[in-house]
Amino acid sequence: MSDQGRLDPVDFEAKICARTALRARAANLARPLVLTNGVFDLLHRGHATYLAQARALGAALVVAVNSDASARRLDKGPVRPVNACADRMAVLAALQSTTLVSFFDDDTALAVVEAIRPDIYVKGGDYDVASTMEGRAVSGWGGQVIAIPFLYQVSSTLLLEKLRDSGR
């Protein structure tokens, strides 16, 4: 905080959590704890709305971000991710809806799920979230698994295609 009571511009970076500290930091968060994960490459209205809806489901929202290597393995295209993991985490941490932001390097977020044991696991409406390894783990200990329907038909992939098409 500055002397005049305003937040310093980098205060949101305190929400960024090293993977090794995630279990301990998440243990101190208010419950119910909501977890989501994804690449969140080019943050857009759909992401912002989805994250606000996810946060409204509980008292705290943890966002686990695919590392650059993990995102590349998703085969979203040769230039993905556009933004580095550290930059994607910083932008997510700046959002009011997020409580804690970390990353994972695996192909799935199962290790994160098992480390923090969220009460609620959330993914976007394009996932059959209950059939994911993460969803099955959360259901296994009695947690909720929720797919949030898209309100806006926008995606990082669509934005990149629009940018490519405008350059022709």
**DSSP secondary structure string for all residues of 46-81:** HHHHHHHHHHHTSSEEEEEEE-HHHHHHT---TT--
- In the block, tokens 């705290």 appear at 60
Sequence-ordered strand ranges (E) for 83-128: 100-104, 120-124
Residue from 155, 146, 157, 122 nearest 45 by CA: 155
Q: Is the pLDDT of residue 90 over 90?
A: yes
pLDDT band at 157 (very low <50, low <70, confident <90, very high): low
Give me the sheet containing 33-38, strands edge to edge.
Answer: 100-104, 60-66, 33-38, 120-124, 144-148
Question: What residue segments make up the domains of the chain, in order of their start?
Answer: 11-166
Fold of 11-166: Rossmann fold (3.40.50)
φ/ψ region of 5 (left if φ > 0, alpha if ψ in -120 to 50, else beta) reads: left
Q: Is the pLDDT of residue 15 over 50?
A: yes
For residue 76, the model assigns a pLDDT of 77
- In the block, tokens 């350059």 appear at 167
pLDDT band at 42 (very low <50, low <70, confident <90, very high): confident
More confident residue, 116 or 160: 116
**CA atoms of 37 and 161, how far apart (whole Å):** 23
pLDDT digits (tens, 9 = 90+) for 131-141: 999 999 999 99
pLDDT band at 1 (very low <50, low <70, confident <90, very high): very low
pLDDT, mean over the chain? 90
Q: Is the pLDDT of residue 155 over 80?
A: no
